[in-house]
Structure 1
Amino acid sequence: MILNIKNRKRNFILVSPIVVILLGFITATTCSKVIDEWAWVPLAIVYWSSLGICIKYFKGNKQIKDWLKKPQPSKLMVFFSLILGFFPMSVVMTNYELFNSIWLVVLWLLFAIINPFFEELYWRGLLLDAAMELFPKWIAMAYSTIFFVLSHPLMWGVFSIANAHYHVFIYLTILGVVWSYTYFQTQSLRWVILSHFFVDIGIMTVPVFLNLYVPPNV
């Protein structure tokens, strides 16, 4: 009986990305018709709420502190994670003039602080752990990364020009693979969350959502 419940929870976790992305797509599509690019606000609320619900009710015996425990040493993967995190910093450094409103700065920083925790606890924590129960490591990593990548154009890309561009697919695929492998090697999400924070800072998430910044050739 207990095993059946555990298996059902695992199976729900494995199909949950479809539900999460569908809810996000519906929210983005509906709200963007009314408030245009500001649809990112209700989308973020719905997205984080759906991830939070999945984490809270389907993590089983795993505790959030288990995902955030002290990392095992893995200098190479930590190095790659941080390099990828710092890579887009040139974007914010060369476009800082876009932050001409204190509220824009506050929203940008809040998103960069909150988003990495929800996304990493779900994509690299809950989902990757569940996939590892059924699949070899590389398939589990691919499974998590594919849905992680698709979530961006299918949700944020509804109203954000940059998030629908193929460059996003390439960069996010690299991030998903490196972050997944970093989690495997360190057995913790600490470095992954930190790298994700730097990425969200560097790519100027909120100005990108609002199409205040559209990368060249996009």
Structure 2
Amino acid sequence: MAVKMKNGHIMIWAPIIVVLISSSSSFIFSTFIQEWAWIPVAIFYWGSIFAFIYFFTTKEERSKWLSRVEGHFGWKIGTVLVGLFPLTILFTNLQLLSESLAATLFWLLFALINPFFEEGFWRGLLLNKLPFQSKFAKVLYSTLFFILSHPLLWGVFSIANRSYMIFVSLLIMSLVWSYAYYRIGSLRWPIFSHFLVDVGNLSVFTFLNLYIPPVM
């Protein structure tokens, strides 16, 4: 019981620590390499997430995150729909893919890797381990820092990630992915939806300010 309580308190600090480490790296590296700071920032971000997941979950818990679950078709469809909305950004800016081969390759690589880390941490780890009694409190706490992580990490050098509009979309996505995880019991669908979002919103192109939303 004492160990469980201690781990619960650590989980309260976990998102704060991850954001502080990653944000600090963002400020430091952006001073020297500007927008390309996104690469070391991603490494520090994923590395700190990996550390928490590795030390505070079991192999069985991590396997369950990727388990195949039957049913819950409504939640699965809803989760995918959330991921489809940003694809309009991609389809209206396809010319960017031919303008920078390096950015395109990094964009695909980021979209393949990032959803596993972020969903594993913000949804899988925190929603399972936070010591709050209600699911709503866990979702709210995780969502708050998930939203803040974007301007504090990527927004240091990315204009698009400073927009107030991103807060609305992040709020919707986090709530849907969180409750989808609770209802489905697996992170497969939130991860897939997150992959679609990272593809559709031209993630790396926004990091490099090669794509800036028109409203900015």
Q: TM (normalized to structure 1)?
A: 0.95
Alignment of 1:110-189 (within 5 A): 110-131=109-130, 133-189=131-187
Aligned equivalents of 1:7 and 1:59: distance in 2? 15
Amino acid at match of 1:215: P
Report the counterpart of residue 82 of structure 2 in structure 1.
84
Structure 1 residue 13, shift from structure 2 partner: 1.6
Q: 1:72 to 1:15 in 2, by over 3 A?
A: farther
Aligned equivalents of 1:98 and 1:130: distance in 2? 41
Q: Output one character per residue of 1:30-49: Cα deviation in whole Å (capped at 9) or x when no partner.
A: 10010000000000000000
- Whether 2:71 is the aligned partner of 1:73: answer yes
Aligned equivalents of 2:11 and 2:65: distance in 1? 17
Aligned equivalents of 1:89 and 1:213: distance in 2? 14
Aligned equivalents of 1:140 and 1:16: distance in 2? 13
Structure 1 residue 104, shift from structure 2 partner: 1.6
Structure 1 residue 101, shift from structure 2 partner: 2.6
Report the counterpart of residue 104 of structure 1 in structure 2.
103
Structure 1 residue 58, shift from structure 2 partner: 1.0
Q: TM (normalized to structure 2)?
A: 0.96
Aligned equivalents of 2:132 and 2:95: distance in 1? 48
Structure 2: 5+ residue stretches without partners: none
Out of 60-69 and 166-175, give the one that drifted further: 60-69
Aligned equivalents of 2:113 and 2:75: distance in 1? 23
Q: 2:206 aligns with which of 185, 205, 208?
A: 208
Structure 1 residue 60, shift from structure 2 partner: 4.7
Aligned equivalents of 1:72 and 1:8: distance in 2? 35
Report the counterpart of residue 52 of structure 1 in structure 2.
50
Report the counterpart of residue 11 of structure 2 in structure 1.
13
Report the counterpart of residue 31 of structure 2 in structure 1.
33
Q: Which runs of 4+ in 1 moved over 4 A?
A: none
Structure 1 residue 135, shift from structure 2 partner: 2.3
Report the counterpart of residue 190 of structure 2 in structure 1.
192
Q: Output one character per residue of 1:94-150: Cα deviation in whole Å (capped at 9) or x when no partner.
A: 11111223222110000000000000011000011112x422111111111111111
Amino acid at match of 1:130: K
Aligned-residue Cα RMSD (Å) equals: 1.2
Out of 59-68 and 34-43, give the one that drifted further: 59-68
Structure 1 residue 71, shift from structure 2 partner: 2.3
Provide the identity percentage.
43
Aligned equivalents of 1:212 and 1:141: distance in 2? 33
Aligned equivalents of 2:183 and 2:193: distance in 1? 15
Amino acid at match of 1:96: L
Structure 1 residue 72, shift from structure 2 partner: 4.3
Aligned equivalents of 1:60 and 1:69: distance in 2? 14
Aligned equivalents of 1:217 and 1:9: distance in 2? 43
Retained in 2: the 8 A contact 1:162–1:214?
Answer: yes
Aligned residues: 215
Out of 41-50 and 4-13, give the one that drifted further: 4-13
